[in-house]
Structure 1
Amino acid sequence: MHDTTFITAGDGCRIAYRLDGADDNPVLVLSNSIGTTLHMWDAQIAALTEHFCVLRYDFRGHGKSDVPPGAYSMDRLGRDVVELLDALNIGRAHFLGLSLGGFVGQWLGIHASDRIDQLILSNTSSRLGPVSEFDARIKALKTSPDMAAVAEGFLAAWFPRPMLEVMHPEVQPFRDMLLSTPPQGLAGLYAAVRDADMRRTIALIDRPTLVIAGTDDTVTLASHGEHIASTVPGARLVMMPAVHLPNIEHPKMYARTVLDFLRETEVA
């Protein structure tokens, strides 16, 4: 296990990352949702590191990474991952991205498939709108950011109501991550999502792909996962009885689903 450390991306932004597991295992990159840090995967690390060297990182604008001004782009977020792999001398890796991380996974599958072995796209979409909604959120963050209200809005969309009503212990770390997210960083990533549309280009992905969707997801709808699975050639779809974070609602089922796919396609 290694502490969080940093690389510097091509535009000078420092990106925080962490490696867990044996260095001689295949590498699995984990990519987070917006408003979280690499710690959103903490519950999966023990299971995943039995088979993989797990590489996690904080998006620019989030966690311990730098917070550049202005809008971010999906191209830039994708290149951050490629440059992270380059800096660590990792030629190819498996990739698991949830929500925004799944957007980045799609970009990598389209533009950098030579760096990806197996691809898992969880609770994500190829296009999220409307643009006006993201513009309004960005404006609010720039003029009068109320991160407490932002945090509660995210939590209500991420977790089933019973978990929120009983103050489930898994919820508080996500509230803390949201409250610590810089408004500029959140606005920058909002812009990247606002401007991304990969509904057609994901047909170019040629990597073995698993799509995970939540039956009760109100952020990236189950139908969005179905679209990705039907558009990416040969992709497989797994529906989980969850909202937006099945890795938190069903951590054992989630880890088993991920490992079954990665190890099956590896053996094959």
Structure 2
Amino acid sequence: MKRRVRRGAAAVLVAIPLVVALCGPWLASSAPSTSQPPFGPSTWSPFGTDRLGRDVLAAALEGGRPLVVTTVVTVLVAYLVGAIAGLAAAATTRHWVEDLVMRPLDVVLCLPSLLVVLVVALRTDGSRVAIAVAVGATLVPPIARFVRMAARGVVQSPAMETLRLQGVGATRRYAGHARRRLARPVAADVGVRLVAALYVLASANFLGIGFDTTSTDWAVSVAANKDGLFVAPWSVALPAGLVVSLVLGVNLLLDEQLSMRRRLRSTPDPAAVPS
């Protein structure tokens, strides 16, 4: 029962910012387009206005999509590249091939993510695409290392060794077994990378090296309106709360996934037992 409550709470925490990010621009279309007094009451919502006189709720509804979409696309592309590299390193039996794949990634792993993003942003005048590519590049090395370690015990297991001596049916069977064994740790790790990418992108936007300072992006709004925190607290609390809700919800779902993995680890997999 407690696990159901935790999963439900985590789902709600994730769903709220996602719904706001996806449906927010459509809902905000009815907000007044004229500027109102900064850090004052609003005629459209009870949350007041921000430093530019925009309705705080309308700005929050419009500012989630760039951050969420950029984060999701960045992580998916980075995981595709990192997973291919990690699987290649795990499957090979030649050490020089593994070194050829992993050692350049280890060099990138030593670089601070935010520093890389800062340098790229300054060199590209804050290009959103360039910043997303920089964040993805910093995610590839840890993803590759994780996939390599997770896959090595599967692709080089005794079960996989036996498929070389068996037919096509056994190959399909053990391939399905490998997918099931890798699905849980990979799913858990995707949650970690989503949080990491969201953290770096939000930090970059907060520092003003991502989007322009007039953007309605949640992180930019927190940084831009911080001077009016005590006058118009919702101008900071609402976008910050949406970011916190998304990060906290993803972490809670990740914890549930890991606990489920621990419970299922003790359960024998029928596919792993030769018939």
TM-score for both structures, normalised by structure 1? 0.25
Which of the pair is proportionally richer in strand? 1
The structure number with the bigger radius of gyration is 2
Q: Greater relative contact order (Cα 8 A, min sep 6): structure 1 or 2?
A: 2
TM-score for both structures, normalised by structure 2? 0.25
Which of the pair is proportionally richer in helix? 2
